């Protein structure tokens, strides 16, 4: 019984994958019931639903930080108030939103529209980009962990490695080419400011994290969450923490992103013009657990589509031999290292091979 279930599932996963049209393709085909590859197993629901029912009891809110006085002079000139706000948010919540961050509202709107336009291209055009080939810098795919995960997520993604080697714009689909190039430059500049603020908040020199190449590479993930006919049976994105130094996320007005704080799922409400920032696993490791890489998820919705664009600061294609471990300036006899050193290749390979299984990849690197 068990083995025939597994066999059926593999066939169905392959058929879905080979359609090269993602979740959007299923919705366009007019399905009204969720295909079983997307259904959350009962134990997964049980482990998370108890948490969800506590949501209304909390007054907890994700902090919003105003960067108005910081972007002009750069993170090095930031006053102590902003550094303190970033420290509290990064140490206690791991998530915050930033406003007056220097990226024009018009560009944010254009980026979301461009991402949406890509996913709404005719399926033959999109299929040309569909690939699980890791070497390609521009990939359209649904569920990077399709064959590892217990259930597939209701989400399609266009994945673009933008830096450190400059991406040849010709590799990007025309519908999102110019905007993606422009957004990439602006979000990278904001990333540098955030790494300066985070360095200062750890008591390090402003350029410390940048000098460790944290801002050197980034990729953009344009996610598309189609309206879901049976949203309570699946997830937009399974609970996970991010496999990078830092993430800057642009989300549209639909909502659905939630952060796990004190065993409660807290909504990250869409704020027009704001960007969501969260600490990734590698900064938690480097800060020896001072900064928190917090678990989050996206609930599926019958509204939508929902569009978001995540910028992951990490090095995907660069064969750097640098390894990352707890920063020695932060260690003392009372604060010994909690993690071993890892190369980015090893970390990313471990994360991708594990897939989104609800467990942090950091456990594997604990001493
Ligand atoms: C991610 C992520 C959230 C969203 O890309 O890692 O958590 O709102 N995205 O799409
Ligand atoms: Ni994430």
At 209-243, the pLDDT tens digits run 999 999 999 999 999 999 999 999 999 999 999 99
Q: Which residues of the chain fall below pLDDT 70?
A: 1-7, 49-59, 74-78, 317-319
Asked if residue 201 has its Cβ within 6 Å of ligand 1, the reply is no
Q: Which atom of ligand 1 is nearest to the CA of 278?
A: 7
pLDDT by residue (tens digit) across 92-117?
A: 999 999 999 999 999 999 999 999 99
What does the pLDDT read at residue 244? Answer: 95
Tell me if 250 sits within 8 A of 111, measured CB to CB: yes
The secondary structure of residue 206, as a DSSP letter, is T
Token pair 């399905």: residue: 31
Segments making up each domain of the chain, as ranges: 9-365
**Ligand 1 centre from 144 Cα, in Å?**
13
Pocket flag, ligand 1, residue 237 (CB < 6 Å): yes
State whether the beta carbon of 310 lies less than 6 angstroms from ligand 1: yes
Q: Which ligand is nearest to the CA of 270?
A: 1
User: What is the pLDDT at residue 52?
Assistant: 52
Peptide bond into 81 cis (omega under 30): no
Quote the CA–CA distance of 294 and 240 in Å, as a whole number: 8
Q: Atom 6 of ligand 1 has which residue's CA nearest to it?
A: 242
pLDDT at 53: 47
User: Ligand 2 center to residue 185 CA distance, Å?
Assistant: 21
241 CA distance to ligand 2 centroid (A)? 6
β-pair type (257-261, 246-251): unpaired
Q: Which atom of ligand 1 is nearest to the CA of 236?
A: 10
How far, rounded to the nearest angstrom, does the alpha carbon of residue 312 sit from its chain's CA centroid? 6
pLDDT at residue 4, rounded to an integer: 62
CB atoms within 5 A of ion ligand 2 belong to 242
Give 320 Cα–ligand 1 centroid separation in angstroms. 26
pTM of structure: 0.95
Of the options 3.30.43.10, 1.10.287.610, 3.40.718.10, 2.60.120.330, the CATH number for the domain spanning 9-365: 2.60.120.330
- Per-residue model confidence (pLDDT) at position 1: 47
Ligand 1, atom nearest to 268 Cα: 8
Is 116's C-beta closer than 6 angstroms to any atom of ligand 1?
no
Tokens of 92: 């206690």
Strands 246-251 and 156-163, sheet pairing: unpaired
Torsion of CA 65, 71, 76, 80, to 10 degrees: -30
Spatial neighbors of 136 by CB under 8 A, at least 6 apart, are none
Surface-to-core class of residue 225, CB atoms within 10 Å of its CB (0-12 exposed, 13-18 middle, 19+ buried): buried
Could you say which ligand is closest to the alpha carbon of residue 241?
A: 2
| Other beta carbons less than 10 A from residue 358's beta carbon | 15
Tell me, in angstroms, the distance from the centre of ligand 1 to residue 208's CA: 27
Neighbour-count burial of 365, counting CB atoms closer than 10 A to its CB (0-12 exposed, 13-18 middle, 19+ buried): buried
Ligand 1: which atom is nearest the Cα of residue 225?
Answer: 10
User: Which ligand sits nearest to residue 257's alpha carbon?
Assistant: 1
């Amino acid at each position: 019984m068990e083995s025939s279930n597994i066999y059926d599932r593999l066939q169905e996963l392959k058929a879905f994958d080979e359609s090269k049209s993602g979740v959007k393709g299923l919705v366009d085909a007019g399905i009204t019931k969720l295909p079983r590859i997307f259904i959350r197993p009962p134990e997964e629901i049980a482990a998370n639903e108890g948490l969800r029912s506590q949501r209304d009891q909390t007054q907890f809110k994700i902090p919003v930080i105003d960067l108005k006085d910081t972007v002009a002079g750069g993170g090095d000139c930031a006053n102590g108030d902003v550094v303190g706000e970033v420290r509290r948010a990064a140490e206690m919540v791991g998530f915050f939103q930033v406003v007056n961050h220097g990226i024009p509202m018009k560009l944010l709107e254009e980026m979301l529209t461009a991402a949406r336009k890509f996913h709404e291209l005719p399926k033959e055009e999109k299929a040309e980009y569909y690939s699980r080939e890791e070497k390609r810098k521009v990939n359209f795919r649904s569920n990077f962990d399709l064959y590892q995960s217990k259930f597939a997520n209701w989400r399609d993604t266009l994945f673009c490695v933008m830096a450190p080697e400059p991406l040849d714009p010709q590799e990007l689909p025309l519908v999102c080419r110019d905007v993606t190039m422009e957004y990439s430059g602006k979000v990278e500049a904001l990333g540098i400011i955030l790494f300066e603020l985070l360095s200062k908040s750890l008591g390090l020199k402003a350029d410390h994290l940048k000098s460790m190449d944290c801002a050197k590479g980034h990729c953009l993930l344009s996610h598309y969450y189609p309206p879901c006919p049976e949203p309570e049976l699946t997830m937009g994105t399974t609970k996970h923490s991010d496999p990078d130094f830092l993430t800057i996320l642009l989300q549209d007005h639909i909502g659905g992103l939630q952060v796990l704080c004190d065993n409660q799922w807290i909504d990250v409400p869409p704020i027009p013009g704001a960007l969501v920032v969260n600490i990734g696993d590698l900064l938690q490791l480097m800060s020896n657990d001072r900064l928190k890489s917090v678990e989050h998820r996206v609930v599926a919705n019958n509204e939508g589509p929902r569009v978001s664009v995540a910028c992951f600061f990490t090095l995907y294609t660069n064969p750097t031999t640098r390894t990352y471990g707890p920063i020695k300036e932060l260690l003392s006899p009372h604060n010994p290292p909690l993690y071993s050193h890892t190369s980015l290749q090893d970390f990313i390979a471990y994360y991708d091979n594990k897939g989104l299984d609800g467990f942090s990849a950091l456990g594997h690197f604990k001493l």
